[in-house]
Amino acid sequence: MSEPGFTCVTDIRVRYAETDGMRVVYHGNYLTYFEQARTEMLRAMGLPYAAIEAMGIFVVVVEAHVHYRRPAAYDDRLQVRASVRERPTNRIRIEYAVTRGDDPAVLVDGYTMHAFLDARTGRPVRPPKEFETIMQSFFP
Amino acid sequence: MSEPGFTCVTDIRVRYAETDGMRVVYHGNYLTYFEQARTEMLRAMGLPYAAIEAMGIFVVVVEAHVHYRRPAAYDDRLQVRASVRERPTNRIRIEYAVTRGDDPAVLVDGYTMHAFLDARTGRPVRPPKEFETIMQSFFP
Amino acid sequence: MSEPGFTCVTDIRVRYAETDGMRVVYHGNYLTYFEQARTEMLRAMGLPYAAIEAMGIFVVVVEAHVHYRRPAAYDDRLQVRASVRERPTNRIRIEYAVTRGDDPAVLVDGYTMHAFLDARTGRPVRPPKEFETIMQSFFP
Amino acid sequence: MSEPGFTCVTDIRVRYAETDGMRVVYHGNYLTYFEQARTEMLRAMGLPYAAIEAMGIFVVVVEAHVHYRRPAAYDDRLQVRASVRERPTNRIRIEYAVTRGDDPAVLVDGYTMHAFLDARTGRPVRPPKEFETIMQSFFP
C-alpha cells in the first residue's frame, strides 16, 4: 500500500474464559485482544515491546476507545488488525479492527493512545532512540 | 444535587489478579470495574440488571471510552462513581470516574454506551417499560 | 507412542494482561491456558468442544489441580501439553504440562476432571455417543 | 472455636465479566476469589499482604486444588471462607469454602499452598519474623 504507516494482522481464537453469560466475548476482553495485536505489530516492526521495557521504559495506555458492532463467540477465529497511521510524537496512536474468517464485516474497532514512562520513576519521557528510528522508517 | 440524573458510588478493592507486570491495574480491567459500578447503580435505581435479563432483554455495550490519568495499585481501595446524566432513549450513556480514598484526583474516567437487545433473537428492542418508568422518575 | 491415550501440544504466547505485579503469569490464568489446550486437544481428536455443546451437552470442570514449579513471564512462548491417559467413563480426566521453548523443564503441571451435563437442565448425563466412539478409538 | 487456626469470611458479588457462556462463574475465577479471601484473611490476622511485599518478600502459590460442586451465577452474593488450620513452616496452606447467602451447601472448596520468595532474587526464603510471630499467636 502507498499510504504511510504500518499494519499487522494477528489471529486470535476466542477462549471460553473470554465469553460471558450472553455467550459472546465480554466487551472488556477486546482491550486484551488489542494488546496482543499491538505486541505482534511492534515485533513485526522490529522492536518487540519486551525490548522497550529492557531499556527501562514502559509504554502505557493513556486512552482507549472501543466500538462494538457485532458479537464474537467461543472458538471463533478472529483477525485483529493493528495499525499505526500517524507518525508518533511523545505519544503513539494505534488503531484496531476485528474481523472473523472470510467475512469483511468489522465486529469491533477502536484505538489506543500511549505515552512513554521511565519505568523507575513513572515520569513521562521521550520514546527511546531505537523507537524513533524505526518509526521514521515507516513515516519518511 | 439539583442537576438531573443519578449517581452511585461503589467501593472496589484492587485484587492481585487485576494488576499487571507494571505493578498497576491492567487498563482493560477498568471496564470490569465500570461494569460492577453500573450493576450497583441500576440496583440503587430500583432495577437490578438481573431483573432486566429476566424480562428477556440484554443490555449490551456498544461503545466504551476510557481515559487513564493515574495508576492504581494492588489493594488500593477505589471508589467508582457511575452516573446517568442524560435521559436514555433506545440507548443509555453511563459515565464513570475512579478515585482513591480521600484524594479527589480522578485516576480514570470514561463512559459506556448501551443498547437493548432481545435475548433470544439478538435484535435491537426498546427498553422494557419498567426501565422507562424508572428513568422518567430521574429525568422528570 | 505405544502407550494408550492422546496428547496434543498448543503454543500460547503470554499476554501482558495475564501477568501480575510479580511480573509473572498470574497463577489463576494457567486454568485458562489448560482450557485452550483442552479445546485444541478435542479438536485434534475429531470432536471440537463447540460440536459437543451443539448436541446440548456442557462438559464442566468438577476438579482442578495445579502445581506451580517455575514462573513464566510476559511474551514467553509456552507449550501446553494436554493428554487423556485413562479411558473416560462418565468423567474424563485431562493432564497438562507447560514448558517453554526448547527447555524440557516443566513450569506448571496439573489435571482437570470433567463431567457431562444436560445444557438445559444442568443434570449429569452420559457423554454423547460421538464422544464415546472417538474415545474408544484411542483406548481400544 | 477451640480448634486452632484462623478463619475469615469475605463477601464477593459475582461480576458479569466473571461468568462464561454457561452463564455460571468460569472455573478459573475461583482462584481469584480465593486470592481476595486470602488477602482479607491476612489483613484480619494483622499482617496485610502488601506489608509482606514491602519487606521484600513475595508469597507465591506453589499448588492449588479446587473442587467444583455447584455453580454460581451473575450477581450471586458469595461468602468465601479462608482458613489456616496448620501451623505454617516454610510453607503455608490455606483452605477455602464458598457458600451463597443463607444456604450452607458448599459450592466450591479447595486449598492453596504457598512459599516465600526473596522478591529480588526469586529464591526461597524463610517467612519474615513478623509473619512467624503472628502465626505463633494462632498456633500456641
Per-10-residue mean pLDDT for chain B, 140 residues long? 83 98 98 98 96 96 98 98 96 98 97 97 95 93
Cell output for C11? 503454543
Which chain B residues have a beta carbon less than 8 Å from that of D32?
15, 17
- Looking at chain C, which residue has its C-alpha nearest residue A17? C32
CATH of the domain at B57: 3.10.129.10
The DSSP-derived string for C73-117 is -TT-EEEEEEEE-S--SSEEEEEEEEEETTEEEEEEEEEEEEEEE
Any CB–CB contact under 8 A between C75 and chain B?
no
B·C CB contacts under 8 A: 27
Task: Mark yes or no for CB contact D21/A19 under 8 Å.
Answer: yes
CA separation for the pair B95, B7 (Å, rounded)? 9
**ipTM score assigned to the predicted complex:** 0.96
Q: Is residue C49 part of a domain?
A: yes
pLDDT tens-digit series, residues A19-67:
999 999 999 999 999 999 999 999 999 999 999 999 999 999 999 999 9
Any CB–CB contact under 8 A between A39 and chain B?
no
Q: How many domains does chain B have?
A: 1
Any CB–CB contact under 8 A between C28 and chain B?
yes
Subunits that touch chain C (at least 3 Cβ pairs < 8 angstroms)? A, B, D
Task: Mark yes or no for CB contact A32/C48 under 8 Å.
Answer: no
Q: Per-residue pLDDT for D140 more than 90?
A: no
CA A10 to the chain's CA centroid = 10
Strands A91-100, A77-84: pairing is: antiparallel
Strands B91-100, B77-84: pairing is: antiparallel
Which chain D residues have a beta carbon less than 8 Å from that of A28?
17
* DSSP element (H, E) containing D43: helix D29-45
What's the mean per-residue pLDDT of chain C?
A: 96
**Nearest alpha carbon to residue C13 among C73, C82, C64:** C73
A·D CB contacts under 8 A: 26
Subunits that touch chain A (at least 3 Cβ pairs < 8 angstroms)? B, C, D
Q: Per-residue pLDDT for A107 more than 70?
A: yes
3-class SS at B126? coil
- Looking at chain B, which residue has its C-alpha nearest residue C23? B21
The predicted structure's pLDDT at residue D61: 98
Q: Is residue C120 part of a domain?
A: yes
Which chain D residues have a beta carbon less than 8 Å from that of C60?
22, 27, 68, 71
Q: Per-residue pLDDT for D1 more than 70?
A: no
CA separation for the pair A14, A28 (Å, rounded)? 13
Q: Per-residue pLDDT for C1 more than 60?
A: no
Task: Mark yes or no for CB contact A65/B65 under 8 Å.
Answer: yes
Our CA-based measurement puts residue D116 at a distance from the nearest CA of chain A, in whole angstroms, of 25
Task: Mark yes or no for CB contact A32/B28 under 8 Å.
Answer: yes
Any CB–CB contact under 8 A between B32 and chain C?
no
Our CA-based measurement puts residue B11 at a distance from the nearest CA of chain C, in whole angstroms, of 21
Q: Is residue C3 part of a domain?
A: no
**Nearest alpha carbon to residue B116 among B132, B105, B140:** B132
Which chain C residues have a beta carbon less than 8 Å from that of A48?
75
Our CA-based measurement puts residue B2 at a distance from the nearest CA of chain D, in whole angstroms, of 31
Q: Which residues are CB-contacts of C34 (< 8 A; sequence separation ≥ 6)?
A: C64, C66, C80, C82, C94, C96, C110, C112
Q: Per-residue pLDDT for A1 more than 80?
A: no
C·D CB contacts under 8 A: 56
Nearest by CB: B75 against D15, D31, D50: D50
Q: Is residue B61 part of a domain?
A: yes
- Looking at chain D, which residue has its C-alpha nearest residue C57? D22
Our CA-based measurement puts residue C89 at a distance from the nearest CA of chain A, in whole angstroms, of 24
CA separation for the pair C72, D96 (Å, rounded)? 26
pLDDT tens-digit series, residues D86-137:
999 999 999 999 999 999 999 999 999 999 999 999 999 999 999 999 999 9
CA separation for the pair A18, A26 (Å, rounded)? 6
Name which of A14, A15, A16 to mutate to probe chain D: the one with the most chain D Cβ atoms within 10 A of its Cβ: A16
Which chain A residues have a beta carbon less than 8 Å from that of D16?
20-21, 26
Cell output for B80? 467508582
Q: Which residues are CB-contacts of D113 (< 8 A; sequence separation ≥ 6)?
A: D61, D62, D63, D64, D91, D92, D93, D94
The predicted structure's pLDDT at residue D93: 98
Task: Mark yes or no for CB contact A122/B60 under 8 Å.
Answer: no
Q: Is residue D20 part of a domain?
A: yes
Q: Is residue D1 part of a domain?
A: no
CA distances from A38 to A35, A66, A83, A119, D83 (A): 5, 15, 8, 19, 42
Cell output for D114? 504457598
Mean pLDDT of A125-131: 95
- Looking at chain D, which residue has its C-alpha nearest residue B48? D75
The predicted structure's pLDDT at residue B123: 95
The answer to whether the beta carbons of residues C112 and C94 sit under 8 Å apart is yes
Percent of chain A with pLDDT over 70: 98
- Looking at chain C, which residue has its C-alpha nearest residue D66? C64
At position C31, the amino acid (one-letter code) is L
Q: Is residue B17 part of a domain?
A: yes
pLDDT tens-digit series, residues A58-106:
999 999 999 999 999 999 999 999 999 999 999 999 999 999 999 999 9
Our CA-based measurement puts residue A26 at a distance from the nearest CA of chain D, in whole angstroms, of 6
Any CB–CB contact under 8 A between B58 and chain A?
yes
Q: Per-residue pLDDT for A2 more than 70?
A: no
pLDDT tens-digit series, residues D44-68:
999 999 999 999 999 999 999 999 9
Task: Mark yes or no for CB contact C66/D71 under 8 Å.
Answer: no
Any CB–CB contact under 8 A between B54 and chain D?
no
Any CB–CB contact under 8 A between A77 and chain C?
no
Q: Is residue C110 part of a domain?
A: yes
Nearest by CB: C31 against D31, D61, D62: D31
Q: Would residue C103 show up in a list of annotated catalytic residues for this protein?
A: no
C42 lies in which domain range? 9-138
